[in-house]
Structure 1
């Protein structure tokens, strides 16, 4: 079966269709159920496993505008009062968690503000929120505090506040530098706002500034993409992340596809997207960057890290706060209520807002870490032998053989390493490690 899927891709099944491409967890979210919520509640009452890092994710679901390709839980119609109500709910949620045994005296090793648009918050709202969070679980041991931004929401005063509350990694959602591409894909910011925001951010002195790009947006061409890559290199950010455009089911692009009876999305093929990412990686490498994952290039690997990613992909506990947020605590997955009012109503009613959960088996936990770490381009056999008591070359012999035969995988001592061709399609290849019951199921 693995051979069939890999060969189909090589034979040209490249059109972009609706569905999730990016693999962020395992087992797939579609297998998480409300019936398993008691398992999540039970794990909160247990002490943490020794030496397990703790991270915090807070979802800020507010945006100036919903992008046509966005599949996150976002709102563009909330006023200041509703935003205050949401922030109070998130603080109350965190207050409940802070008293639970699973915290075990730990302080967060990483904090991540995602969205939506965290930079949509005013400086007053941001200070109010972060002061409350630090009072509950201090950040003085945090190795990284990440904050996602939309360039059009930034000015020097707001960026100074973001830096002063302790943010160490600013992630700018640029996506593309061409004005026409930004408009066509529904981005709220324009090209001119990017330079202004970036220059302000540099002047404030963030230790790490990251630029996000998307390969394969509607309307993109070879020339426009090459210009975008050149502009990114000209700015010399500390890191660049590049994602390949996907069309999940809850996007406006998919809704328009349905209305028109179209199965094929109006974006680049997977082959073209891989070509563009390969071009970007090549140009970044010529400029002195190092490719450190299927999506990431960094200027200095010795100083530029992604702590939240590396720790989460190695089994760290992640406490997800806010509407629709995902958590991973004590080996148990769970997700919050995925709509605004039900989320807040649960908290104001004195309950945790957990909507669905899943407790992976030991084998599923092994597969989760394996596929996530493969997204770095390499996995260490000794790590999995020590942690899970499994020899990867024996347990996944058939899949590894197939990946080698198709020319994607190489072995170097104790390391299993994807070459560049494998890395560019890693989110497709890791499906080969899924258990049979998960391979052809809906992911989200």
Structure 2
């Protein structure tokens, strides 16, 4: 068989270079513009689509230390008064939104505290924040409340507070279990803090505990990675999420690469990262886990879900609060101010802190759901036919044929299903469905 275009493009893609690899939305963020903010404001004045769930996200941008690979908006220099000022600004933001027509009497079906490090907050700050949020938009119908944590910020008292405020899914940013790897990559916590935090979390009784790992961190080896997976299996968390290391442009690793004139990142190749994720999935499956996406393995798919992911990827509304947060409301994307001072200043002045926005076309909305759901490893043809009136097999015949010819995709009745080789490459493969104007553009 002749080598296809996709195969040719992926040959030589082995070295890790700077740029965003993980696809979290569509169209790419670089197409979201300040000129479109009026569309974001307008959609908030419209009632919600019947039956569409609402989710709530809050970005907590504070950390003990910035990791060398981190590309999120974080701050390591804020004191208690500045943190409280930020919390009050986020509450003011939610206050403005709570009476908007797009809320339409809905209560959040899922709530997500992301970072940064949400667990950096003190117990009093957490209680003040969440009590205020619940008063504005009650969580009593939430199916899931997720809270990201850095192990070194946790003790039994704080974990008890986190559980008491209603968190059902605790996500520990472990990343690796080896002390040297953690230090080399700039993590704030050490290996000993992981066990302590995990044991505390288990004793408090969270319904679901997830641990995050990263395949391909600087300095990692086959032996160290295998040890990390053995440790993860020993802990038996409810779910394990594994990301493949990437080097976005706004990381300290990229800054050092640029200063040294290097194009190749000092991390594992893509082939090695896929090999390590494949190994991890295999070991987790031996231990009784089920792989449910390109990144996640769960102990019991019947009881362990990820509502934030599954509902958002099926078109749910998401109201994002906090600096640099993303929202998806009524099919319109928008993002808040990128820096903390203008974010707070906008709210202090009585304005919403929206920085840029985009109202996708109907075709772009279809593609967004298609590429996000492909990250689960399977897509239902009938779902897209019913929701968008499009037969995926006809609309994307050439793209699907390309994936099939390269051995990544199989058609099983109503489902388009990626095999394991396809799933390990999913963030590269979904680019096949991008419209031409988006394919070679900068993602972020």
Give TM-score scaled by structure 1 length: 0.99
Residue matched to 1:137: 137
Task: Show CA shifts across 1:354-376 (max 9, x none).
Answer: 00000000000000000000000
What is the aligned partner in structure 1 of residue 329 from structure 2?
329
Name the SS for the 2:183 alignment partner: helix
Deviation readout 1:324-351 (Å, 9 max, x if unpaired): 0000000000000000100000000000
The number of aligned residues is: 442
The alignment status of 1:82 with 2:91, answered yes or no, reads: no
Q: Distance in 2 between matches of 1:145 and 1:6?
A: 41
Deviation of the 1:218 alpha carbon: 0.1
CA-to-aligned-CA distance 1:212-257 (integer Å, 9 cap, x gap): 0000000000000000000000000000000000000000000000
Aligned mates of 2:12, 2:272 — CA distance in 1 = 11
Shift of 1:124: 0.2
CA contact (8 A) 2:55 2:319 kept: yes
User: Hey, what's the Cα distance between the residues in 1 that align with 2:150 and 2:269?
Assistant: 27
For 2:12 and 2:316, locate their aligned partners in 1 and report how far apart those are by CA, in whole Å. 38
Number of the residue aligned with 1:111? 111
Structure 1 SS opposite 2:27: coil
- Counterpart in the other structure of 1:25: 25
Distance change >3 Å, CA 5–CA 403, structure 1 → 2: closer
Q: 2: CA distance between counterparts of 1:215 and 1:6?
A: 23
Question: Are residues 1:419 and 2:419 paired?
Answer: yes
Give CA-to-partner distance per residue, 1:252-274, whole Å, 9 cap, x none: 00000000000000000000000
Q: Give runs of aligned pairs for residues 57-76 of structure 1, distance below 5 A.
A: 57-76=57-76
Contact 2:114 2:147 in 1 (8 A): yes
Instruction: Please report the RMSD computed on the Cα atoms of aligned residues, expressed in angstroms.
Output: 0.7
Indicate the residue corresponding to 1:125 in structure 2. 125
Q: CA deviation at 1:7?
A: 2.2
User: Shift of residue 76 of structure 1?
Assistant: 0.1
| Residue 143 (structure 1) shift | 0.1
What are the within-5 Å matches in structure 2 for residues 262-301 of structure 1?
Answer: 262-301=262-301
Structure 2 partner of 1:255? 255
Alignment of 1:350-429 (within 5 A): 350-429=350-429
- Give the drift of 1:4: 2.5
Quote how far apart the aligned CAs of 1:199 are.
0.1
Superposition pairs of residues 156-235 of structure 1, within 5 angstroms: 156-235=156-235
Q: Take 1:353 and 1:428, find their aligned partners in 2: how far apart are those partners?
A: 33
Please state how far the C-alpha of 1:6 moved relative to its aligned partner.
3.2
Q: Which residue of 1 aligns with 2:431?
A: 431
Spell out, residue by residue over 1:52-78, the C-alpha distance to the aligned partner (whole angstroms, 9 max, x if none): 000000000000000000000000000
In structure 2, the residue corresponding to 1:62 is in which secondary structure?
coil
- Taking the aligned partners of 1:413 and 1:12, their CA distance within structure 2 comes to 34
Which residue number corresponds to residue 342 of structure 2?
A: 342
Matched residue, 1:305 = 305
2:53/2:311 contact within 8 Å kept: yes
Which residue in the other structure is 1:40 paired with? 40
Name the counterpart of 2:7: 6
- Helix, strand or coil: the match of 2:170? strand
CA distance in 2, matches of 1:7, 1:165: 52
Structure 2 Cα separation of the partners of residues 3 and 354 of structure 1: 43
Task: Report Cα offsets for 1:285-322 as digits up to 9, x if no partner.
Answer: 00000000000000000000000100000000000000
Q: Distance between the aligned counterparts of 1:4 and 1:384, measured in 2?
A: 27
SS of the equivalent of 1:114 reads strand
- Counterpart CA distance in 2 for 1:331 and 1:272 is 38
Q: Secondary structure at the match of 1:72?
A: coil
Following the alignment from structure 2 to structure 1, what is the Cα–Cα distance between the partners of residues 4 and 129? 51
Runs of 4 or more off by more than 4 Å in structure 1?
none
Extract unaligned runs of 5+ from structure 2.
Answer: none
1:13 to partner: Cα distance: 2.3
Residues 6 and 402 in structure 2, CA contact (< 8 A), matched pair in contact too? no
SS at match of 1:243: strand
> In the TM superposition, what is the alpha-carbon distance from 1:3 to its structure 2 partner?
4.0
Unaligned runs of 5+ in 1: none
Which residue is equivalent to 1:101?
A: 101
Q: Are 2:440 and 1:440 aligned?
A: yes
Cα distance in structure 2, aligned partners of 1:208 and 1:6: 39
Asked whether the 8 Å contact 2:377–2:419 carries over to 1, the reply is: yes
Partner of 1:242: 242
